[in-house]
Amino acid sequence: MRDVIYLDRMEQAETLLKPQRVEVLRQLAAPRSCTEVAEVLGQTPQRVHYHVKQLVNAGLVSQVAERRVRGVQEGLYQAAARSYWLSPRLVGRIGSRDELALGHLVDLAEQVQADVAALDRSSELPSVGVSGEIRVRPEERRQFLAELQTTLQDLFTKYGGAEGDAFRIALACYPKGDDR
């Protein structure tokens, strides 16, 4: 089972975003049959089987085993991932984005989300996450952002050669909002 599957196809999102299917998917965190899931959810096995087949066709669930129960082959199914992330592209873009617009952060966050979901999580990967808060007076905002951009560009220039392991750097700088 993967940690994350990044959903960027409308068919996958439409399959997943049905309340009954989300409940079925939750029950499939561990391998289970449709009959077992039906008992937990108070549904008929046929109804659960229909939803499981839709999830299988979308690549969100897979059959992991089969067993014989009272002379009938019964499939055991498991969710393909622990988490499912929906791409903002599924909604579409509205308006233009410049580097100082908050909409640009949405694009950046989507890129980070897609990159992290695609990583092979079976081994330890070198990474760093840093978060902090900086306070800047309104009259210094542009200067701060320009200095930040220059500092990062210097790092990109210094370490931007063609040799070595490739790392993506994504930094988000945005107004914090109220602490209410």
pLDDT tens-place string over residues 155-178 = 888 888 778 877 877 777 666 666
- Nearest-angstrom CA–CA distance, 7 and 73: 31
User: Is residue 66 predicted with pLDDT exceeding 80?
Assistant: yes
Average pLDDT over residues 56-79: 93
Residue 139 CA neighbour count, 13 Å, CB half = 0
155 vs 62 pLDDT, higher one: 62
The SS3 call for residue 116 is helix
pLDDT digits (tens, 9 = 90+) for 118-127: 776 666 677 7
Going by pLDDT thresholds of 50, 70 and 90, the confidence category of residue 29 is very high
Q: Give pTM, 2 decimals.
A: 0.62
Rounded to 10 degrees, the C-alpha dihedral 143/145/150/155 comes to 150
Structure tokens given for 123 = 């081994």
> Quick one: which of 40, 76, 35, 82 has its CA closest to 56?
76
Q: With cut-offs at 50, 70 and 90, classify the pLDDT of residue 3.
A: confident
Q: From CA 18, how far away is CA 148, in angstroms rounded?
A: 43
Taking the C-alpha atoms of residue 71 and residue 17, their distance in angstroms, rounded to an integer, is 35
Residue 5 has pLDDT above 80, yes or no: yes
The mean pLDDT value of the chain amounts to: 84
| Cα-based torsion angle of the residue sequence 60, 65, 69, 74 in order, rounded to the nearest 10 degrees | 30
pLDDT of 71 strictly over 60: yes
Least confident of 21-25, 44-48, 123-127: 123-127
Identify the band that residue 26 occupies on the pLDDT scale cut at 50, 70 and 90. very high
